[in-house]
Structure 1
């Protein structure tokens, strides 16, 4: 790659870059399920900024370019819900998703109080590469629910 990838906390100034990357990354999911109305493709910039404000987000950069991101929120029960783990399509299969997942878990597991008791995330039932990564990282299926005519959401968890 030439340059090294850095992972850091996302700032409000990153919101527009994250939203554009999210739109690009979720095209393949929309195609897989035949549904271009999925929330990641319809989320507004204001909604994303509110999500960043409520929780914690990380970005991976190659030089100045945001090439990957992940978000999470910790609830009162101690569950850190992790979402929208995205990696630019040209940089997939290089371990960035796993690095971001590790980094967001570390954030919620530790230095600050209160720490997460468990991590939870979800993905579509046909999203094999996502399911493979999450299972490799120790997540287990705890629930599935029908989210549309062609989509079942798989919820996965692991202890912190």
Structure 2
């Protein structure tokens, strides 16, 4: 497509754009599961800032616009927990999500933290997400029923 998309570290100044994008991106998930109370839609700006401060976030930009983002943190066991990989609806299916996933994994692998595994989760009916994660080497390791309409599928891959 020839997009001039740049990926860089996110910081507190990006939090508001990330939150607005997150709200937009999770509308389709809320509709899919019939639940508009999911955490990404109710998260506060302060909570996004706290997640960025506690871990590492990346943003993809097209010019000055944040069009995609991902956040992650490492736990004491060496697991990198990847969360909220989002891509603006009009920019999906152009490889940006895959590039962000590769970049966040590379960040933690190169950071000297010696991660043992990468872990993420998505809803059981989120086929696009599941397809991307499988293509990137993730395998299902568990599932947890959140409610009558939603089961979170956990996927992992070795670092």
Aligned equivalent of 1:25 = 25
> 2: distance between equivalents of 1:123 and 1:2?
29
TM-score normalized with structure 1 length = 0.97
**Do structure 1's residue 116 and structure 2's residue 149 form an aligned pair?**
no
SS of structure 2 residue aligned to 1:149: coil
**Do structure 1's residue 155 and structure 2's residue 154 form an aligned pair?**
yes
> 2: distance between equivalents of 1:65 and 1:11?
14
Q: Which runs of 4+ in 1 moved over 3 A?
A: none
Q: Which digits, 9 at most, give the CA deviation of each residue in 1:102-130, with x for residues without a partner? A: 000001112x2222110000000000000
1:117-156 pair list within 5 angstroms: 117-156=116-155
Aligned equivalent of 1:9 = 9
Matched-pair contact (CA < 8 Å) for 1:3–1:63? no
Structure 1 residue 2: Cα displacement: 6.4
**Do structure 1's residue 77 and structure 2's residue 72 form an aligned pair?**
no
Which 10-residue stretch deviates more, 113-122 or 37-46? 113-122
TM-score normalized with structure 2 length = 0.98
Count of matched residue positions in the alignment of Structure 1 and Structure 2: 159
Structure 1 residue 4: Cα displacement: 0.3
Aligned equivalent of 2:103 = 103
> 2: distance between equivalents of 1:93 and 1:71?
20
> 2: distance between equivalents of 1:77 and 1:11?
25
> 1: distance between equivalents of 2:26 and 2:14?
18
SS of structure 2 residue aligned to 1:37: coil
